[in-house]
Amino acid sequence: MASLPLLKDIPDLRGKRVLLRLDTDVPIESDKVRDAYRLDRARETLEFLRTQGARTLIVGHIGRDPKETLHPVFEHLKKSLPIEFVKTFKDAEREMEELTNGEFLLLENLRSFPGETMNDAAFATDLASLADLFVNEAFAVSHREHASIVGVPALLPSFVGFVFAEEVDNLSKAFSPAHPALLVLGGAKFETKLPLIERFLDVVDNIYIGGALANDIYRARGYDIGASLVSDCAISQRILEHPKVYVPSDVVVKTSAGRTEKGADNVERAEKIVDAGSDAIADLRALIEKAAFVLWNGPLGEYEAGFDAGTVALAQMLAECDAETIVGGGDSLAVISRLGLLPRFSFVSTGGGAMLEFLAHKTLPGIEVLEKRLAFSV
């Protein structure tokens, strides 16, 4: 992968109109930002643009519903930035003309414009017309072929922000990690993790697969998994029989009578696997204690439903270990944030699907288009 064009290397931003694609998809509660971690991570980029005298239009999305608004994000950002909020393109055009150096404008939820998710060429052209250059500071959505990710940078001189560059630099360490190296995967949707597992069988020393992902392996091995969540995904014999691959030896199951622990090969038809068991956590601890590098994505159980003991134990073990630790994924991030463990990890990725795709393919659509524009100059 070629070196990415960096925001910090632009020689003169004063008076330049900058279109900043920001990761604004943060949790909202009672019309207020509940967790500002993603926004706070971008503070260095925002401050750089302010102090360098750029006139910046921030664009981003929130949630999946086009009717959701970025106004709570605006209320959060205005606590530390000179910024205004606009809902329409026409308003954005007018306000961009009136912005002074170091000021910001936030456009309403990009997904309220149909052309965004369709990567419509006309919509990308309209966005590009509002700026002199483009900065991508939204690694977490750069696996999406949306207009603001791949359409606009095909039309403007384009760069990455400080966080985006950190994401690429740190996640790239997983391609040649210190050994012994351990990959821990949880969550669901085995098909989204399969390319990563296949690639890292030849990279790391051990792969621990938990969460609903393990249910797919149990089923493929002929175990009864009862009412547990599974994916419709074929798993190769190489993965099923590989000595590097571990799954929980015991599990927590939910029944009509409550919850109990039992061997993974002893689940009954009416039971549902909801977490890793105590023996499984002990096995995982042994792998972590001998590791020099650990990469983690996804919870070990249905933590949102209250079955979070396995995931909490994993987070605490990683926070206390001596290995280099990299963690990502929205659910994993929520857990370590709640536990106050964010500073205890070597690197915390804001990417979920983007992290998985980058690790599996060593690139993203949002990176590929930037590499094609390296010949541009401001």
Q: Are residues 52 and 153 in the same domain?
A: yes
Classify residue 19: in a domain, yes or no. Answer: yes
Classify residue 88: in a domain, yes or no. Answer: yes
Number of compact structural domains in the chain: 2
Q: Is 333 helix (H, G, I), strand (E, B) or coil?
A: helix
Domain, as residue range, for 236? 176-345
The tens digit of pLDDT for each residue in 172-196 reads: 999 999 999 999 999 999 999 999 9
Q: Are residues 153 and 238 in the same domain?
A: no
Whole-number percent of the chain with pLDDT over 90: 92
CA triple 165-168-172, angle to 5 deg: 145
Q: Is 294 helix (H, G, I), strand (E, B) or coil?
A: strand
Instruction: Find out whether the peptide bond into 180 is cis, omega within 30 degrees of 0.
Output: yes
What was the pLDDT predicted at 376?
46
pLDDT band at 374 (very low <50, low <70, confident <90, very high): low
Q: How far apart are CA 324 and CA 315, in angstroms?
A: 13
Radius of gyration for the alpha carbons in the chain, expressed in angstroms and rounded: 22
Classify residue 150: in a domain, yes or no. Answer: yes
Q: Are residues 129 and 243 in the same domain?
A: no
Q: Are residues 16 and 134 in the same domain?
A: yes
What was the pLDDT predicted at 295?
98
Please, what is the average pLDDT of the chain?
A: 95
Pairing of strands 32-33, 28-29: antiparallel
Q: Are residues 30 and 153 in the same domain?
A: yes
CATH of the domain at 247: 3.40.50.1260
Q: Are residues 154 and 199 in the same domain?
A: no
The total of other beta-carbon atoms located within 10 Å of residue 372's CB is: 14
Classify residue 287: in a domain, yes or no. Answer: yes
**Nearest residue to 89 (alpha-carbon basis) of 68, 64, 65, 114:** 114
What tokens appear for 280 in the block? 């499984």
Q: Are residues 197 and 313 in the same domain?
A: yes
Pick from 78-82, 144-148, 303-307, 342-346: least confident: 303-307
Classify residue 350: in a domain, yes or no. Answer: no
The tens digit of pLDDT for each residue in 226-278 reads: 999 999 899 999 999 999 999 999 999 998 888 999 999 999 999 999 999 99
**Nearest residue to 253 (alpha-carbon basis) of 231, 283, 223:** 223
Pairing of strands 158-160, 272-276: unpaired
Classify residue 115: in a domain, yes or no. Answer: yes
